[in-house]
Amino acid sequence: MEEALAVSQNRLLRGVIAALTSNGELGAVLGSVIDLVTDATGGDACVLHLWDAAHDCLVLRAASPSLQSAVGEVRLRLGEGVTGWAAEHRQVVVIPEDKWADPRYRYFPELHGERYTSMISVPLLARSGDLLGVFNVHARERRDYDLDVLKLTASLVAGAIEHADLFQALAEKEAALAGMMRRTIQAQEEERRRVATEIHDGVTQQLVSIWYRLLACDRSLDTDRAQAARELEAAKLLVDEALEEARNAIHDLRPSVLDDLGLAPALRALAHRQLTGETTLDLDVADDVALPAHHEVVLYRVAQEAITNICRHANARRVKIALYEERPHVVLVVGDDGGGFDPAAGRSRMSFGLAGMTERVSLAGGRLSVHSAPGRGTVITVLIPGVGGEQQ
Ligand X SMILES: Nc1ncnc2c1ncn2[C@@H]1O[C@H](COP(=O)(O)OP(=O)(O)OP(=O)(O)O)[C@@H](O)[C@H]1O
- Across the beta sheet with 318-326, the strand order is 280-285, 318-326, 329-336, 378-385, 367-372
Q: Which is nearer to ligand X, 107 or 352 (CB)?
A: 352
Restricted to residues 293-312, the positions that interact with Mg ion (CB under 5 A) are: 309
Q: Which of 159, 202, 353, 365 binds Mg ion (CB under 5 A)?
A: 353
Q: Which stretch binds ligand X (CB under 6 A): 249-257, 293-301, 305-313, 317-325?
A: 305-313
User: What CA–CA distance (Å, rounded) separates 323 from 263?
Assistant: 10
349 binds, among Mg ion, ligand X, none (CB under 5 to 8 A by kind): none
Closest C-alpha to 331, from 261, 379, 262, 274: 379
CB-based burial label for 39 (10 Å; 0-12, 13-18, 19+): middle
By beta-carbon proximity to ligand X, the closer residue of 133 and 366 is 366
202 interface partner picked from Mg ion, ligand X, none, CB below 5 to 8 A per type: none
Instruction: Return d(Cα 256, Cα 264) in angstroms, integer.
Output: 13
Scanning 81-89, 147-155, 268-276, 346-354 for contacts with ligand X by CB under 6 A, the matching segment is: 346-354
Taking phi over 0 as left and psi of -120 to 50 as alpha, with beta for the rest, 386 belongs to beta
- Rule CB under 6 A: say whether 359 interacts with ligand X: no
- Of the candidate spans 59-67, 113-121, 263-271, 310-318, the one that interacts with ligand X by CB under 6 A turns out to be 310-318
Choose, by CB under 6 A, the member of 119, 132, 310, 321 that binds ligand X: 310
CA 361 to CA 346: how far, in whole Å? 20
378 part of the interface to Mg ion, by CB under 5 A:
no
- Does 321 bind ligand X (CB under 6 A)? Our answer is no
Task: Give which of Mg ion, ligand X, none residue 296 binds (C-beta under 5 to 8 Å, depending on kind).
Answer: none
Least distance to ligand X, CB of residue 254, Å = 21
Which residues of the shown chain bind ligand X in the complex (CB under 6 A)?
309-310, 312-314, 336, 338-341, 347, 351-355, 378
Residues that bind Mg ion (CB under 5 A): 309, 353
